[in-house]
Amino acid sequence: MPLTTLVSLPRNMNVLPDGSRIVNARQATMLTLLGNPRADYGSDCRDITNPRLKPLVTRRNVGPFAVRGLAPAVDSLEGVMKAIEKEEPKVFAALGTAGMLCARFVRGSTTSISNHSWGTAIDLTLDGVLDARGDGRVQEGLTRIAPIFNRHEWFWGAAFGTEDGMHFECSDGLIRKWANEGRFGAVPVALPEDDLLSLGDRGPEVEKLQEKLNQHGAGLLVDGIFGRDTQSAVMRFQGAHKLTIDGVVGKQTSAALGL
Protein backbone atom coordinates (compact mmCIF):
# COMPACT_ATOMS: atom_id res chain seq x y z
CA MET A 1 0.00 0.00 0.00
CA PRO A 2 1.46 3.41 -0.95
CA LEU A 3 2.26 5.61 2.04
CA THR A 4 -0.05 8.34 0.72
CA THR A 5 -3.09 6.02 0.52
CA LEU A 6 -5.95 7.55 2.51
CA VAL A 7 -7.29 5.41 5.36
CA SER A 8 -9.82 5.81 8.14
CA LEU A 9 -8.76 7.53 11.35
CA PRO A 10 -7.24 5.06 13.83
CA ARG A 11 -8.95 4.37 17.12
CA ASN A 12 -7.42 5.60 20.39
CA MET A 13 -5.38 8.39 18.86
CA ASN A 14 -2.91 10.08 21.23
CA VAL A 15 -3.30 7.28 23.79
CA LEU A 16 -0.21 5.42 25.01
CA PRO A 17 -0.17 1.65 25.69
CA ASP A 18 -0.48 2.31 29.44
CA GLY A 19 -3.70 4.23 28.85
CA SER A 20 -2.29 7.70 29.47
CA ARG A 21 -3.36 10.43 27.06
CA ILE A 22 -1.29 12.94 25.12
CA VAL A 23 -2.95 16.37 25.35
CA ASN A 24 -2.23 19.27 23.00
CA ALA A 25 -0.66 22.34 24.60
CA ARG A 26 -3.19 24.81 26.03
CA GLN A 27 -3.18 28.48 25.07
CA ALA A 28 -2.83 29.44 28.74
CA THR A 29 0.20 27.16 29.07
CA MET A 30 1.92 28.63 26.03
CA LEU A 31 1.14 32.26 26.85
CA THR A 32 2.11 31.90 30.52
CA LEU A 33 5.36 30.00 29.98
CA LEU A 34 6.55 31.48 26.69
CA GLY A 35 4.68 34.73 26.20
CA ASN A 36 2.94 35.96 23.08
CA PRO A 37 5.06 35.42 19.94
CA ARG A 38 3.81 38.68 18.45
CA ALA A 39 1.20 41.40 19.00
CA ASP A 40 -1.03 40.62 16.02
CA TYR A 41 -1.97 37.60 13.90
CA GLY A 42 -3.69 36.80 10.64
CA SER A 43 -4.21 33.74 8.48
CA ASP A 44 -0.78 34.17 6.87
CA CYS A 45 2.60 33.12 8.25
CA ARG A 46 4.48 35.84 10.10
CA ASP A 47 7.68 35.83 12.13
CA ILE A 48 7.87 36.19 15.90
CA THR A 49 8.63 39.63 17.33
CA ASN A 50 8.84 38.81 21.05
CA PRO A 51 12.47 39.56 22.05
CA ARG A 52 12.36 36.90 24.76
CA LEU A 53 11.49 34.17 22.26
CA LYS A 54 13.90 35.05 19.46
CA PRO A 55 17.01 33.61 21.21
CA LEU A 56 15.11 30.34 21.77
CA VAL A 57 14.60 29.75 18.04
CA THR A 58 17.01 27.56 16.10
CA ARG A 59 17.39 26.19 12.58
CA ARG A 60 18.71 22.65 12.13
CA ASN A 61 18.65 19.57 9.93
CA VAL A 62 16.73 16.89 11.84
CA GLY A 63 17.28 14.05 9.36
CA PRO A 64 15.05 14.06 6.32
CA PHE A 65 14.68 17.86 6.28
CA ALA A 66 15.71 21.10 7.95
CA VAL A 67 13.41 23.01 10.31
CA ARG A 68 13.24 26.32 12.15
CA GLY A 69 11.54 26.18 15.54
CA LEU A 70 11.81 26.46 19.29
CA ALA A 71 15.11 24.86 20.33
CA PRO A 72 13.68 22.25 22.78
CA ALA A 73 11.07 21.27 20.20
CA VAL A 74 13.71 20.89 17.49
CA ASP A 75 15.82 18.78 19.89
CA SER A 76 12.84 16.54 20.55
CA LEU A 77 11.89 16.35 16.87
CA GLU A 78 15.39 15.17 16.05
CA GLY A 79 14.89 12.29 18.49
CA VAL A 80 11.52 11.47 16.91
CA MET A 81 13.10 11.35 13.46
CA LYS A 82 15.88 9.03 14.62
CA ALA A 83 13.24 6.66 15.99
CA ILE A 84 11.24 6.82 12.74
CA GLU A 85 14.38 6.11 10.70
CA LYS A 86 14.99 3.00 12.80
CA GLU A 87 11.40 1.71 13.08
CA GLU A 88 9.80 2.97 9.83
CA PRO A 89 12.64 3.52 7.33
CA LYS A 90 10.31 3.68 4.30
CA VAL A 91 8.26 6.43 5.90
CA PHE A 92 11.43 8.24 6.96
CA ALA A 93 12.68 8.25 3.37
CA ALA A 94 9.41 9.78 2.15
CA LEU A 95 9.07 12.49 4.81
CA GLY A 96 9.13 16.20 4.04
CA THR A 97 7.77 19.26 5.81
CA ALA A 98 5.38 22.11 5.05
CA GLY A 99 6.84 24.17 7.88
CA MET A 100 7.33 24.52 11.62
CA LEU A 101 7.54 28.11 12.93
CA CYS A 102 4.67 30.15 11.48
CA ALA A 103 3.00 32.81 13.64
CA ARG A 104 -0.69 32.79 12.65
CA PHE A 105 -4.17 31.90 13.84
CA VAL A 106 -5.45 28.34 13.59
CA ARG A 107 -7.05 27.96 10.17
CA GLY A 108 -10.64 29.19 10.28
CA SER A 109 -10.26 30.95 13.65
CA THR A 110 -9.65 34.54 14.70
CA THR A 111 -9.05 33.75 18.38
CA SER A 112 -6.99 30.54 18.52
CA ILE A 113 -3.24 31.08 18.12
CA SER A 114 -1.67 28.16 16.28
CA ASN A 115 1.11 26.42 18.20
CA HIS A 116 3.15 26.87 15.02
CA SER A 117 3.46 30.45 16.29
CA TRP A 118 5.87 29.30 19.00
CA GLY A 119 7.70 26.88 16.71
CA THR A 120 6.43 23.84 18.63
CA ALA A 121 4.38 22.25 15.84
CA ILE A 122 5.20 20.83 12.43
CA ASP A 123 3.25 19.87 9.29
CA LEU A 124 4.56 16.83 7.42
CA THR A 125 4.34 15.62 3.84
CA LEU A 126 4.81 12.13 2.41
CA ASP A 127 6.40 11.84 -1.03
CA GLY A 128 5.75 15.56 -1.40
CA VAL A 129 2.00 15.18 -0.76
CA LEU A 130 0.31 17.11 2.06
CA ASP A 131 -2.52 15.25 3.78
CA ALA A 132 -5.79 17.13 3.18
CA ARG A 133 -7.19 18.80 6.29
CA GLY A 134 -10.72 18.07 7.41
CA ASP A 135 -11.69 15.12 5.19
CA GLY A 136 -11.77 12.62 8.07
CA ARG A 137 -9.11 10.40 6.50
CA VAL A 138 -5.31 10.34 6.79
CA GLN A 139 -2.34 9.09 4.83
CA GLU A 140 -1.44 5.53 5.79
CA GLY A 141 2.19 6.47 6.40
CA LEU A 142 1.15 9.01 9.04
CA THR A 143 -0.66 6.32 11.01
CA ARG A 144 2.62 4.40 11.25
CA ILE A 145 4.59 7.26 12.78
CA ALA A 146 1.89 8.82 15.00
CA PRO A 147 2.57 6.32 17.84
CA ILE A 148 6.27 7.23 17.67
CA PHE A 149 5.43 10.93 18.01
CA ASN A 150 3.13 10.05 20.92
CA ARG A 151 5.91 8.16 22.71
CA HIS A 152 7.97 11.34 22.53
CA GLU A 153 5.00 13.30 23.96
CA TRP A 154 3.85 14.93 20.72
CA PHE A 155 0.13 15.29 19.96
CA TRP A 156 -1.24 14.18 16.57
CA GLY A 157 -3.63 16.68 14.98
CA ALA A 158 -5.76 13.96 13.38
CA ALA A 159 -7.69 13.99 16.66
CA PHE A 160 -8.79 17.62 16.30
CA GLY A 161 -12.48 18.29 15.59
CA THR A 162 -11.38 19.29 12.11
CA GLU A 163 -9.01 16.43 11.34
CA ASP A 164 -5.47 17.71 10.74
CA GLY A 165 -3.46 14.59 10.02
CA MET A 166 -0.43 16.44 8.66
CA HIS A 167 0.02 18.23 12.00
CA PHE A 168 2.05 17.18 15.05
CA GLU A 169 2.70 19.44 18.06
CA CYS A 170 4.45 19.32 21.42
CA SER A 171 2.06 18.26 24.17
CA ASP A 172 1.02 20.34 27.16
CA GLY A 173 3.00 18.07 29.47
CA LEU A 174 6.14 18.39 27.36
CA ILE A 175 5.98 22.20 27.38
CA ARG A 176 5.51 22.20 31.16
CA LYS A 177 8.42 19.76 31.63
CA TRP A 178 10.77 21.98 29.63
CA ALA A 179 9.66 24.99 31.66
CA ASN A 180 10.39 23.15 34.91
CA GLU A 181 13.83 22.26 33.55
CA GLY A 182 14.51 25.95 32.96
CA ARG A 183 14.71 25.66 29.19
CA PHE A 184 12.61 28.80 28.74
CA GLY A 185 14.35 30.81 31.43
CA ALA A 186 12.68 31.68 34.74
CA VAL A 187 9.52 29.66 35.49
CA PRO A 188 6.48 31.79 36.42
CA VAL A 189 5.46 31.70 40.07
CA ALA A 190 1.99 30.31 39.28
CA LEU A 191 1.40 27.89 36.41
CA PRO A 192 -2.12 27.58 35.01
CA GLU A 193 -4.09 24.48 35.96
CA ASP A 194 -2.97 21.59 33.75
CA ASP A 195 -6.56 20.82 32.68
CA LEU A 196 -7.73 24.43 32.30
CA LEU A 197 -9.60 25.37 29.11
CA SER A 198 -9.81 28.96 27.88
CA LEU A 199 -10.26 31.15 24.81
CA GLY A 200 -8.10 29.91 21.94
CA ASP A 201 -7.91 26.26 22.99
CA ARG A 202 -8.93 23.47 20.65
CA GLY A 203 -9.08 19.70 20.67
CA PRO A 204 -11.18 16.78 21.93
CA GLU A 205 -11.55 18.30 25.40
CA VAL A 206 -13.12 21.43 23.90
CA GLU A 207 -15.57 19.25 21.95
CA LYS A 208 -16.61 17.58 25.23
CA LEU A 209 -17.01 21.01 26.82
CA GLN A 210 -19.22 22.21 23.95
CA GLU A 211 -21.36 19.06 24.18
CA LYS A 212 -21.84 19.61 27.92
CA LEU A 213 -22.74 23.27 27.40
CA ASN A 214 -25.24 22.25 24.73
CA GLN A 215 -26.94 20.02 27.30
CA HIS A 216 -27.60 23.28 29.14
CA GLY A 217 -29.08 24.93 26.07
CA ALA A 218 -26.00 26.68 24.64
CA GLY A 219 -26.69 25.66 21.03
CA LEU A 220 -23.00 25.66 20.10
CA LEU A 221 -21.43 24.21 16.98
CA VAL A 222 -19.31 21.32 18.29
CA ASP A 223 -16.13 22.11 16.38
CA GLY A 224 -13.52 21.69 19.12
CA ILE A 225 -12.46 25.35 18.98
CA PHE A 226 -12.88 27.53 22.09
CA GLY A 227 -13.95 30.73 20.37
CA ARG A 228 -16.01 33.71 21.48
CA ASP A 229 -19.32 31.81 21.30
CA THR A 230 -17.99 29.06 23.57
CA GLN A 231 -16.53 31.65 25.95
CA SER A 232 -19.90 33.42 26.15
CA ALA A 233 -21.67 30.11 26.80
CA VAL A 234 -19.22 29.33 29.62
CA MET A 235 -19.84 32.73 31.19
CA ARG A 236 -23.62 32.25 31.02
CA PHE A 237 -23.27 28.85 32.65
CA GLN A 238 -21.01 30.27 35.36
CA GLY A 239 -23.48 33.06 36.10
CA ALA A 240 -26.39 30.63 36.32
CA HIS A 241 -24.45 28.43 38.76
CA LYS A 242 -23.03 31.24 40.91
CA LEU A 243 -19.44 30.59 39.82
CA THR A 244 -16.77 33.19 39.07
CA ILE A 245 -17.70 34.60 35.69
CA ASP A 246 -14.39 34.62 33.84
CA GLY A 247 -15.09 32.50 30.77
CA VAL A 248 -12.36 30.06 31.83
CA VAL A 249 -13.07 26.40 32.54
CA GLY A 250 -11.09 25.47 35.63
CA LYS A 251 -11.75 22.85 38.28
CA GLN A 252 -14.95 24.38 39.69
CA THR A 253 -16.59 24.99 36.33
CA SER A 254 -15.51 21.55 35.09
CA ALA A 255 -17.03 19.91 38.15
CA ALA A 256 -20.30 21.82 37.74
CA LEU A 257 -20.49 20.73 34.09
CA GLY A 258 -19.61 17.13 34.93
CA LEU A 259 -16.53 17.11 32.73
Q: What is the pLDDT of residue 9?
A: 96
Do 148 and 208 sit in the same domain of this protein? no
Residues of the chain scoring pLDDT < 70:
187-190
Boundaries of domain holding 101: 6-180
Nearest 5°: the CA angle 104, 209, 170 is 40
Both 234 and 137 in one domain: the answer is no
223 within some domain: yes
Residues 218, 120 share a domain: no
Report the pLDDT value the prediction gives residue 175, as an integer from 0 to 100.
Answer: 95
- Check residue 156 and give its pLDDT: 97
DSSP classification of residue 93: H
pLDDT at 130: 95
- Mark whether 29 and 152 lie in a shared domain: yes
Give the total number of structural domains in the chain.
2
DSSP code string of 134-156? TSSEEEHHHHHHHHHHHHTTEEE
Residues 177/23, Cβ–Cβ less than 8 Å: no
pLDDT of residue 170: 98
Is residue 224 assigned to a domain?
Answer: yes
Tell me, yes or no, whether 138 and 72 share the same domain: yes
Give, in degrees to the nearest 5, the angle at Cα 221 between 220 and 222: 105
In a domain, 126, yes or no: yes
Same domain, yes or no: 23 and 122: yes
pLDDT of residue 196: 84
The separation between CA 194 and the C-alpha centre of its own chain, rounded to angstroms, equals 14
Task: List C-alpha distances in Å: 238 to 190, 208, 231, 257.
Answer: 23, 17, 11, 10
Q: 120 lies in a domain?
A: yes
Note the pLDDT of residue 59: 97
- The reported pLDDT for the residue numbered 259 is 87
